[in-house]
Structure 1
Amino acid sequence: MDRPYRITVVCTGNICRSPMAELVLRERLDAAGLGDQAVVDSAGTTAWEEGNPPDPRTVDVLRRHGHDVDGWQHRARVMERSWFPETDLVLAADHGHFSTLRRMAPTPADKDKVHMLRAFDPAVPSEAEQGMDDPWYGDEAGFERTYAEVDGAADGVVDRVRADLASRG
């Protein structure tokens, strides 16, 4: 393999949903033995939070669920069109991000890389239900719900990465 498989998770400001998914997916890929073959990062569709660390409630919910957040150096950044050629899978947190990312994609092949994160959760019955509400506007319960949604999709993303890596040869 000439380069690692690259995943970018995208939400609005890159301080709640997408960094939470980035960390969970990174740990899940490591646990599946794929951590040396896959790279996970995250970004936002806006520059509203650029340079900021994750929302403290994101860090708290990850810590409560046993994730290693000590020393986590995440800083919010904005998704760039130029990243598409080197990215294998782009995971949108909600339908608005999905539409924005598909418009941003420079080629039809790049458009095909964009998926809803929750499309990988077998418990989500329909496309209409794949969006994740932004927990920033709510309380701790919203962050717990977001964590459950990320957790529900993570194994499906790992399965997709495993299959894509196998097809590379």
Structure 2
Amino acid sequence: MTSERPVRVVFVCWGNICRSPMAERVAQGWADRDGLAGLEFASAGVSSEETGNPIDTRARAVLTRHGYRADGHRARRITASEIADADLVIGLEQVHLDRMRRLAPDADNLSLLTDYDPAAEPGTGVDDPWYGDAAGFEETLSAIEAAMPGILAQASDLRR
């Protein structure tokens, strides 16, 4: 029996202008492509320094080049209530999980994006491409796509 409430997955990075919105858009693209209903995706940051800013232009370019939607994003900070309301909250680096645990100490729905990639070394995260060139955004997209089958499988299991 499928729950009436959608399964909510939130991707979290530092400022919510590159990695987490990329993951959100990839997840939505894959769910749409695969006809997966009952899933809702969002993204946020652990910092408020980028609040209101659009997605990084390099992230937008990579998403667009690979056929993902990249428009309409505005950075925002995650809240304790959003963590509590989500089914899965997926950080891109350990520091994001640490900050969310301080914000929501009882949260049991936090994981690292690379936890869903069987080829990734346990406990590794996805480096912030913001500090580098456009190639870093391609690497970020590859890491996100490698984890996506596991993320969508987990989210789909939660619908049951």
TM-score, length basis structure 1: 0.89
Task: Write the distance in 2 (CA, Å) between the matches of 1:19 and 1:150.
Answer: 11
1:26 aligned partner: 28
Task: Write the distance in 1 (CA, Å) between the matches of 2:69 and 2:82.
Answer: 27
Task: Write the distance in 2 (CA, Å) between the matches of 1:62 and 1:24.
Answer: 8
Q: Does 1:157 align with 2:113?
A: no
Q: Give per-residue Cα distances to partners, 1:98-122, cap 9 Å, x unaligned.
A: 1111222252xxx220000111011
Give 1:141 deviation, angstroms: 1.1
What amino acid does structure 1 have at the position aligned with 2:100?
L
Runs of 4 or more above 6 Å deviation: none
**3-state SS in 1 of match to 2:149:** helix
Q: Give per-residue Cα distances to partners, 1:65-121, cap 9 Å, x unaligned.
A: 12233xx211000000111232100000101001111222252xxx22000011101
Identity of aligned residues (%): 42
What amino acid does structure 2 have at the position aligned with 1:75?
R
8 Å contact kept, 1:84–1:106: no
What amino acid does structure 1 have at the position aligned with 2:133?
D
1:90 aligned partner: 89
Q: Give per-residue Cα distances to partners, 1:103-152, cap 9 Å, x unaligned.
A: 22252xxx22000011101111322xx21111001001111111111111
Task: Write the distance in 1 (CA, Å) between the matches of 2:69 and 2:45.
Answer: 22
Matched positions, count: 158
Cα RMSD of the aligned pairs, angstroms, is 1.2
Task: Write the distance in 2 (CA, Å) between the matches of 1:20 and 1:4.
Answer: 21
What amino acid does structure 1 have at the position aligned with 2:146?
G
8 Å contact kept, 2:6–2:159: no
2:120 aligned partner: 124
